[in-house]
Structure formats: C-alpha cells, structure tokens
Amino acid sequence: MRLMMLISLIAGIFLPSAVRVQAEELKEENVEIASDSAILLEGNSGAVLFEKNGDKKMYPASLTKIATSIYAIEKGNVNDLVTISKNATEVEGTKVYLEEGEQVTLKHLLEGMLINSGNDAAIAIAEHIDGNIEQFVKNLNHYLQEKMLITSTHFTNPHGLFDKEHYTTANDLAKITQYALQNSTFKEIFGTKQLEWHGESWNTTLYTHHLMLKGEIPYHGIVGGKTGFVNESKQTLATVADKTSMDLIAIVLKGKDKGVVYNDTINLLNYGFSYYKLDKIRSGQSFFKDGKTFLSTKEEVLVIPKRDSSINVASDGTLQIKNEKNKLIQKIHLKEISAAATPKYGEKPLNEMENTHKDHFESILFTVLIIGLSCLIVCKKNRRWLKRLIS
C-alpha cells in the first residue's frame, strides 16, 4: 500500500499524462482487429496471447504453403533434383515460370514457393514428394494430424487456390507455423527478403511479398512472413517477430485489404511485446497446493502478463497462467508426487510464488524511490549551500 501511494505521488508530479495512459492501452480489450479471424501465439511456449475467432473455419489462400513446405522438407531431401511436369506449368495464379522438363532442386522450389508464392513450384514439390496431388494432400493432412495434433484443417491442394473443402483455422495455422520454425531450413527460407532466381525462362530477383519483412512497412524484429490472397479468403497474413527473446506468431485471416491485415498484425505484435514477458521454471521444481506437492517434468518457458496476472495450480494438477481478464493463456502439466508435503527450505507454495517476486521487486523499488525523494528534498533545502560550494 505504501509503495502504491508513493508511486502515485511521484507519477503525478513527474510523469506526463501520456505515459500514465499507456498502461490502459495495453489491455486486451483495447486491441482492435478488423479481420474476421486472428491469433497471437508465443512460439517458445505455445501460449495463446490473443485470439479472435481462432477456431473458426477459414480459407487460408497461400498460407497453405507453410504446411506444404515443412512437410516436404521433413519427408524429402532438399538437394534432390525435381523434374518439372506439364501439370505444374499449367497451374493458375502466381508463378516462378517453370518450364516443362526443367530440373530444379527441391530447396530452390521451396524458395520460389515461399518467397514468390509460386503455385507452379508448389505443384512440382507435391508431385516430387508423393507422385501426384491426390496422394500428396492425403499424406499432408495425415502428417498435420499426427505430427502437430491439428484437428480443424483439411487441405485439397498444396498451394491454397480456392476449394470449398480446403480450409483451416487461425489456431491451426499458428501451430503449424510454430512447428515449422523449429526447422532451420524452413526458418531460413521463411525469413528471406530477396533471392536471385535463375530459371530456364525467367532470370530475376525474387522479393518477399510480405511488406513488413521486406521493410516497406517498418517494424523492428520481423524475422519471417507469408502473404495470401484469393477472392474467397480476401487478404491473409502470417508474421513472425522476435524481440527480447520472445517469438510472436501472428496469423490474420480475411482482411478486406492489405492495409487491414498489416494494421491488425501491428496491433497484435504491439500488444504482445508491450504486455507480456518471459520467465522459466526449471525441471523438477516443486509447487504446493492444498497439501499436495507437484513437480515440473521439464524446463518450461512461461509467458506472464507484466501486470494483473495470476499463476496457480488448478485442481487437475496443471500450472495455469491467466491474464487480467482471468483468461487462460498457458497451461503446464505437473506431476503429483505426494498427497501431503511441506515446502523445502527456501521454497514457497505456488500461491506465494508470484508474491515472492513481487514483494522483492517492491522492496527494492521502494528503497530506490525513498532514496531518490530524499535526495530531491536535501538538494532543495541546500540549494544555496550547493551554489556556494560550486562557485
């Protein structure tokens, strides 16, 4: 209480009104998203920091190529030479202008597909990996279900051209992107801004279509991204940003134009970086709840709101982190080791965990503020004496 009174007094004297308003601007309810669906995921932990219609069935357009890429990388050999079919050259939409019979490495096709969104490259990749498009999409859907536990996605092609049975959700796309980013080859291509392309019929420099990654819409920390558009899906956008060791994945679906999806993405990233911070719990760390002892089974990254958060062990034995709206943002499974136990020396029950850090911080801050105020008072009283001393 004394700390809050002191902070309020100093803030009222020294801080401009714009700064005092900033805390209110960080709240989730102030994040305005105009697109139909969006999600913000922290990549290290899988914590969902914000979502709007995250589980709503949507058409992804070329964000499909994120899934195609990671599946092809994990199943194929990026050094393989791929022979381009007539079928690949005849696909609609954006291309890298492959020629029938041309031979291109699988990695170069992945680059053409992710950087320039080449639909012909996507067809060539699918045919090389599984022989034909039908077998590829069957295997791709199975791969997503088995590897990433994706349950609300069904793809009918490798590129994202519209099909009413080709759908996903913002939530699933965020999980797919999170998984894909663990692969160094995917991460490298996903973050490439420009690349020299030398084909049989097209020599050019490919530039990413993602305006934030390209730098046309400046935003510090952008490390990867993919755009998408078909009439039925409108604008779609996947963006990855890395600042202060926090990896944020923003998926925005069905924005009416490019301005909307980029503005929504910036709002999501600003909210994530401003409002949340990372912490860790070690493997084997003890937590205590209602006379029971729980252990973390591995080191875990925690994403914690910078204010107004709660960290508790729930009745099902999970460690739960909630934001200011009491919304669950992260859940970690713990192992119960005894029916009753007392904390070891130097440890505190989980319900005191957040207060331990808070009290320690407040004690330090209170001391610093007291010293600062004392210095101001002393300097004011002895201003004449100081002037004489300096002169």
254 in the same domain as 293: no
Contact assessment for residue 44 and residue 278, using Cβ atoms and an 8 Å cutoff: yes
The residue range of the domain holding 332 is: 282-351
**Can you give the pTM of this predicted structure?**
0.81
More confident residue, 27 or 110: 110
pLDDT (tens digit per residue) in 259-307: 999 999 999 999 999 999 999 999 988 888 888 888 999 999 999 998 7
308 in the same domain as 229: no
Note whether residue 88 is domain-resident: yes
The reply to whether 214 belongs to the active site is: no
Instruction: Locate 4 and state its tokens.
Output: 């809050």
Note whether residue 384 is domain-resident: no
Instruction: Locate 126 and state its tokens.
Output: 């699918």
Question: Quick check: 47 pLDDT over 50?
Answer: yes
194 in the same domain as 98: yes
pLDDT given for residue 288 in this prediction: 83
Ranges 7-11, 61-65, 207-211, 269-273: which has the least confidence: 7-11
Note whether residue 158 is domain-resident: yes
Q: From the candidates 117, 233, 296, 309, give the one annotated as an active-site residue.
A: 117
The residue among 253, 274, 295 that closes a domain is 274
Contact assessment for residue 68 and residue 117, using Cβ atoms and an 8 Å cutoff: no
Instruction: Locate 238 and state its tokens.
Output: 């996947």
Q: Across residues 358-370, what is the average pLDDT?
A: 51
215 in the same domain as 339: no
Q: How many residues does the chain have?
A: 391
Per-residue CA distances from 102 to 9, 40, 80, 215, 352 (Å): 73, 40, 13, 33, 65
More confident residue, 378 or 14: 378
Question: Quick check: 16 pLDDT over 80?
Answer: no
Contact assessment for residue 67 and residue 156, using Cβ atoms and an 8 Å cutoff: no
270 in the same domain as 173: yes
pLDDT given for residue 11 in this prediction: 38
Note whether residue 382 is domain-resident: no
240 in the same domain as 142: yes
More confident residue, 224 or 357: 224
Q: From the candidates 45, 52, 65, 107, give the one annotated as an active-site residue.
A: 65
Note whether residue 206 is domain-resident: yes
297 in the same domain as 225: no
Q: Across residues 8-24, what is the average pLDDT?
A: 35
More confident residue, 9 or 121: 121
Query: Positive or negative CA dihedral for 230, 52, 272, 151?
Result: negative
Kindly report the average pLDDT of the chain as a whole number: 85
* Closest to 215 (Cα-Cα) out of 193, 190, 197: 193
Q: Across residues 61-65, what is the average pLDDT?
A: 98
Total domains in the fold of the chain: 2
Note whether residue 85 is domain-resident: yes
Contact assessment for residue 164 and residue 69, using Cβ atoms and an 8 Å cutoff: no
270 in the same domain as 306: no
322 in the same domain as 200: no
109 in the same domain as 42: yes
Residue identified by tokens 């201003």 is 383
CA separation for the pair 259, 268 (Å, rounded): 14
Q: From the candidates 62, 233, 296, 309, give the one annotated as an active-site residue.
A: 62
CA separation for the pair 226, 111 (Å, rounded): 12
The residue among 274, 299, 318 that closes a domain is 274
The reply to whether 117 belongs to the active site is: yes
Note whether residue 378 is domain-resident: no
119 in the same domain as 39: yes
306 in the same domain as 188: no
Q: Across residues 123-147, what is the average pLDDT?
A: 98
Q: Where are the beta strands (DSSP E) in 210-305?
A: 222-230, 234-243, 246-255, 276-281, 286-289, 292-296, 300-305
Q: Label residue 326 by pLDDT band (50, 70, 90).
A: confident
CATH number (domain holding residue 138): 3.40.710.10
Contact assessment for residue 50 and residue 268, using Cβ atoms and an 8 Å cutoff: yes
Residue 145 one-letter amino acid? Q
pLDDT given for residue 347 in this prediction: 42
Question: Quick check: 238 pLDDT over 90?
Answer: yes
Note whether residue 11 is domain-resident: no
